[in-house]
Amino acid sequence: MRYLPKSPADRDAMLKAIGLRSVDDLFAPIPAEYRLNRDLKIPRQMAESEIVDFFRQRSRENGDGYTSFLGAGAYFHYRPVIIDSLISRGEFLTAYTPYQAEISQGTLQSIFEFQTMICELTGMEVANASMYDGSTAAAEAVMMAVRLTGRRSVVVARTLHPEYREVLATYATHQGMPLSIANYGQDGHLNVQELEKSITPETACVLVQSPNFFGIVEDVEAIAQIAHQHGAMLVVSIAEAVSLGIVEPPRQADIIAMEAQSFGVPLGFGGPYCGVIATREKNVRQMPGRLVGQTTDKQGKRGFVLTLATREQHIRREKATSNICTNQALVALMVNIFMTIYGKIGLKELAKQNLAKTAYAAAQFAKHGKVLFSGSPRFNEFVVETSEDPYAINSRLLGHKMIGGLPLKKFYPELGDSSLWCCTELTTRSAIDTAVGLVAESERSVRSAKEEVEEVAR
Amino acid sequence: MKHSTPKATRHVNQNEGLIFEKSSPGKAAWKLPPLDVPEVDPAKLLGKAERKDLGNMPEVSEIEIIRHFTRLSTWNYAIDLGMYPLGSCTMKYNPRVNEAVARVEGIANGHPYQPEKISQGALQIMKTLSECLIEITGMDAITLQPAAGAHGEMTGLLMVRAYHQSKGNPRKKVLIPDSAHGTNPATAAMVNYAVENLKSDARGMVDLASLKQQMNEDVAALMLTNPNTLGVFEQQIHEIADILHAKGGLLYMDGANMNALVGKVRPGDFGVDVMHLNLHKTFSTPHGGGGPGSGPVAVKKPLEPFLPAPVVVAKPDGTLGFEYNRPHSVGRVRSFYGNFGMFVRALAYIQANGPDGLRQTTEDAVLNANYIRKGLEGSYDLPYSTPSMHEVVFSDKLQAKKGVRTMDIAKRLIDYGFHPYTTAFPLIVPGALMIEPTESESKEEMDLFIEAMKSIAEEVEEDPQTVLDAPHSTRVSRLDETAAARKPVLRWKPMSSGQ
């Protein structure tokens, strides 16, 4: 086996040194009746070339070469080449959690920079080293608000990513945290009247997403005011990190729970991604996850360490702020490198291109169909209502190697034949025109079919 | 160094500031293509939501970024540089073909919501990996959704709770041995179970008498790591399972130490009802400085209805798809389907090994731990003489007489070119040195490690101060953790705003 660095002679010599006759003696502590005396029924040992072939074949069966208009919590942005060059360095790739600070300064300093940039972008004062993803970050942020306020119930915007809501519901079930849902209004924003009604003196926090699941930028200031008036916290979830380049961050929030996948992390069929929690300094001791802090060594030299560990499971056990241990460190490094590459100016320009492509696409779609919530400010997603079932439209688009928007009826049945479309800097004008053309074609044929039916009826 | 080994020498180590300290206006590492649609006015589209300024985000060039992170990387120790014997962490070789196949276009760029029809490749990977893991664990069904081990624990306990609830009573508490990882009790608390400690016997195993006494109808499950954190196989595992099952409880196995068992024994065959695996330990996906992980949870048949939705199923037309309609499911624990990229890597690892390779891997891992145990016996105190599996736990009892503790020895080990072992864990061993070499170490590397550890033991006798002041060869010396926690500085700020 090519990963094992021992010759048969080495093994014999080692067994001899231990004073054993055979390898079986090493497994003597396992009661004989449970020992497996056969081969595992798994694929046979394969050569590297066969493994590569196997995955290339799977890749061909997996949408390779399609143009996609999907977003909905997972965004296709350009990934600069140097991200993979740098994260492939064995010193980053094959290191453990930086508990031994003296020989982990590389990882520690990069996390410190990551925390700093997340603070700069979100307008918060502290950020942790990462969470599993945006959904679990949101759930943990809510639990953090529950601890901070001593209240238990939570108001969740229905425009929060539906899967984030599901994850929160799972986390909340056994925490005695009643959840109530506040719906959206005609304009696709969270309905503030409904929010007002949902908040009670027991509300620990309001959880909203901005830009929300429909791509619409919420009026965070107004929502914060309502939450704070009732003594509740505001938790804002950000699923599309690139929006931070051009959309004002939710500075009025108490906690921000982010998904940073857009910053240089491959779509990868849904993971691994990079959740982050950011908040005010005064809340830091209730923060879950790892934190890196600056300190000095015995000679007074600047260095970095994992800090405030008394919040964490390995110290506090059942009294910890969370059970999280392994996080998404290497993915956070991708995010870090991406933020460093684009920086102060590039992120803004990148976000502006997303805004322009989306504005163009939405305008084109509006010529042939109905774009919902069209008066509201949006970032890079929009909802298109069609006369035909979007699944049928998407089937036709697939024939042109295009993946259309996400049909919404599964999550929002009341929106009927609507779908959520996304454009990023990688969406070309010609792809937009083609997709719009195909949707328009179907709109026309549905209309003419309807007219025919009407004619027959007449 | 008084006792030097061939492993470590000093080499040039370049200084590097924070990236913000290199920033200056006008530098850039990015270039966007010309816009092929009309320009827009953000103020018009976004109104008051338009962001004007990105604060102190850096402005640097590409070469500076390459040098910045490359220099930082040289300050890290890594498996690629040598033995990383962190007990319970299974720091094994991370094969590079895993990285290559995870980056194949259709796999790296698959969107989680793309139609199932064009997701057959990803679904096939998930199905094949699931089948392999079910066979390896001897369980009946699996979810790949949890993002890490602790997340898997939570998912497993949610299923335990749902199972008991379906019988009419969710029960109140979870038994956890005093040798357990901190995630176990933290997880139980998240699922709203009270934690009851279970003590270990003189051999470092579950004390059966205590278990019998503490087991009753209030106990939902026992969370057991097997081999446990002492590296000891719970020989009475089946009696343990029987005691639990007799009172309707379930046996949860923390699979952190599965590297001792793969291909040799299957948890499903010795009475485990639910368990998680750590793909980033046993199945070679990289630790990456602390993640990403992946924590699949395998269960026996009675728990299958409670698996998180969705699950991968074969549809009547022979294609694969996701089944969302699972009325008894505990719900979702993560968006989409989990850390898919780790599934790719774990499957590539299983394929590279096959049944024979996996068995040999386990045998070598156990052989290596026992070789180290033999090599260090006498130099370090062995608190439990029970046979070791994949890791061995010593204590600093002999060295403590000179005022040298496990952390000091660990820091001195750095000077010899090794990453330290796990210190001060498990909690049942005061001053523990928990050593897990994994199968990835050659005899030569382990001989160097044994030599280094023995040399440190001698130094403790002759010159304890050298050990107490270690490390001497690193870029920074021991860091002031107390100051870091007392007045936390958790981000960089520009000079003008103080600091």
Check whether residue B238 and residue B135 sit in a common domain: yes
Distance of residue B103 Cα from the nearest chain A Cα, in angstroms: 9
Q: Is B43 near chain A, with CB under 8 Å? A: no
The answer to whether the CB of B408 falls within 8 A of the CB of B466 is no
Domain count, chain B: 2
* Longest Cα separation, chain A: 98
Question: Which positions in chain B touch A6 (Cβ < 8 Å)?
Answer: 364, 442-443
Domain encompassing residue B329: 98-350
Q: What was the pLDDT predicted at B5?
A: 55
Please judge whether B150 and A313 are an interchain contact, meaning their C-beta atoms are less than 8 angstroms apart: yes
- Is pLDDT at A108 greater than 50 in this prediction? yes
Q: What is the chain A residue with the closest CA to B333?
A: A167
Residue A76: which H helix or E strand, with range?
Answer: none
B321 & B374 share domain = no
Q: Give the separation between CA A318 and CA B182, rounded to whole angstroms.
A: 8
Report the chain B residue with the minimal C-alpha distance to residue A267.
B109
- How far apart CA B352 and CA A1 sit, in angstroms, is 8
Q: Which residues in chain B touch residue A125, judged by CB atoms under 8 angstroms apart?
A: 491
3-state helix, strand, coil in chain A (%, to 5): 45, 15, 40
Q: Clarify whether residues B334 and B450 are in a common domain.
A: no
Instruction: Please indicate if any CB of chain A lies within 8 Å of the CB of B187.
Output: yes
Q: Are residues B471 and B323 in the same domain?
A: no
> CB distance A116–B20 less than 8 Å?
yes
Tell me whether residue B187 is in a domain.
yes
B341/B477 same-domain check:
no
B382 in contact with chain A, both atoms CB, cutoff 8 A: no
Contacting residues of B for A296, CB less than 8 Å apart: 479-480, 483
B10 in a structural domain: no
Interface of A with B in 233-292 (CB under 8 A): 244-249, 266-273, 284, 290-292
Q: Smallest CA–CA separation between A171 and chain B, in Å?
A: 7
Residue B25 placed within a domain: no
How many residues are listed for chain B in this entry? Answer: 499
**Angstrom distance (rounded) from CA A125 to CA B56:** 13
For CA atoms A99, A102, A105, A107, give the dihedral sign: negative
The CATH number that applies at residue B185 is 3.40.640.10
B312: its two tokens: 């991968």
Mean pLDDT of A389-393: 94
What would the two tokens of residue B102 be? 């995870």
- What are B265's two structure tokens? 């024994």
User: Which pLDDT tens digits describe chain B residue by residue (499 residues)?
Assistant: 555 557 888 778 899 999 999 999 999 999 999 999 999 999 999 999 999 999 999 999 999 999 999 999 999 999 999 999 999 999 999 999 999 999 999 999 999 999 999 999 999 999 999 999 999 999 999 999 999 999 999 999 999 999 999 999 999 999 999 999 999 999 999 999 999 999 999 999 999 999 999 999 999 999 999 999 999 999 999 999 999 999 999 999 999 999 999 999 999 999 999 999 999 999 999 999 999 999 999 999 999 999 999 999 999 999 999 999 999 999 999 999 999 999 999 999 999 999 999 999 999 999 999 999 999 999 999 999 999 999 999 999 999 999 999 999 999 999 999 999 999 889 999 999 999 999 999 999 999 999 999 999 999 999 999 999 999 999 999 999 999 999 999 999 998 644 4
User: Where are the strands (E) in B233-374, listed by range?
Assistant: 250-254, 274-276, 297-299, 311-314, 320-323
CB < 8 Å to A48, chain B = 97, 352
Spans of all domains in chain A: 81-339, 345-457
Indicate the residue among B350, B369, B392 that finishes a domain: B350
Other beta carbons less than 10 A from residue B39's beta carbon: 11
Phi-psi region of B171 (alpha: psi -120 to 50; beta: other; left: phi over 0): left
Is residue A443 predicted with pLDDT exceeding 80? Answer: no
Q: Which residue has the tokens 């163009």?
A: A360
B40 is a domain residue: no
Say yes or no: B116 and B254 in one domain.
Answer: yes
Find residue A67's DSSP bridge partners. A402
Question: Cβ of B355 and A39 within 8 Å?
Answer: yes
Tell me, yes or no, whether B272 and B365 share the same domain: no
Strand, helix or coil at A184?
strand
Q: Cβ of A9 under 8 Å from any chain B Cβ? A: no
What's the pLDDT score for residue A445?
74
What pLDDT sits at residue B7?
A: 80
- Chain B environment of A355 (Cβ under 8 Å): 40, 42, 45-46
Helices (H), B12-142: 42-46, 62-73, 96-102, 105-108, 120-137
A93 touches chain B (CB under 8 A): yes
pLDDT for residue B499: 41
Chain A residue numbers with beta carbons less than 8 Å from the beta carbon of B483 are 295-296
* Count of C-beta atoms within a 10 Å radius of residue B377: 13
Show the CA angle centred on residue A137, arms to residues A410 and A334, nearest 5°.
100
pLDDT bucket at A318, cuts 50 / 70 / 90: confident
B464's tokens:
């304890």
Select from B294, B278, B309 the least CA-distant residue to B341: B294
The order of strands in the sheet holding A255-259 is A126-127, A275-279, A255-259, A233-238, A203-209, A153-157, A179-182
Nearest chain B Cα to A129, which residue? B290
Check residue B498 and give its pLDDT: 41
Spatial distance between the Cα atoms of A5 and B442, rounded to a whole number of angstroms: 5
pLDDT tens per residue across span A410-430: 999 999 999 999 999 999 999
Give yes or no for a contact between B115 and A398, defined as CB atoms under 8 angstroms apart.
yes
Interface check for A453 against chain B (CB to CB < 8 A): the answer is no
Cα separation values, A138 from A211, A212, B221, B448, Å: 15, 14, 29, 47
Q: Is A10 helix (H, G, I), strand (E, B) or coil?
A: helix
Chain B contact present for A375, CB below 8 A: no
pLDDT at A238 over 60: yes
CB pair distance less than 8 Å for B39 and A292: no
Give ipTM to 2 decimals. Answer: 0.96
Nearest to A323 among B18, B84, B183 (CB): B183
Q: How large is the average pLDDT for residues A25-30?
A: 96
Per this entry, what is the length of chain A? 458
**Shortest Cα distance, chain A CAs vs residue B213, angstroms:** 23
B335 and B401 belong to one structural domain: no
Distances (CA, A) of A243 to A61, A210, B256: 32, 9, 39
- B426: CATH: 3.90.1150.10
Q: Which residues of A touch B185 (CB under 8 A)?
A: 313, 317-318
The answer to whether residues B225 and B313 belong to one domain is yes
Which of B350, B373, B400 is the C-terminal boundary of a domain? B350
Are B122 and B160 members of one domain? yes
> What number does CATH give the domain A345-457?
3.90.1150.10
In a domain, B60, yes or no: no
Chain B closest-CA separation from residue A445 CA (Å): 24
Among A85-94, A227-236, B49-58, B421-430, the range scoring the smallest mean pLDDT is: B421-430
A337–B contact, CB cutoff 8 A:
yes
Mean pLDDT score, A204-219: 98
B218 and B278 both lie in a single domain: yes
Buried b (16+ CB within 10 A) or exposed e, B11-26: eeeeebebbbebbeee
Find residues 153-192 of chain A whose CB sits inside 8 Å of chain B. Answer: 161, 163-164, 166-167, 169-171, 173-176
d(CA B408, CA A439): 68
Paired with A219 in beta bridges are none
pLDDT for A289 beyond 90:
yes
- CATH architecture of structural domain A81-339: 3-Layer(aba) Sandwich (3.40)
Q: Are residues B375 and B300 in the same domain?
A: no
Specify the 3-state DSSP secondary structure of B419. Answer: coil
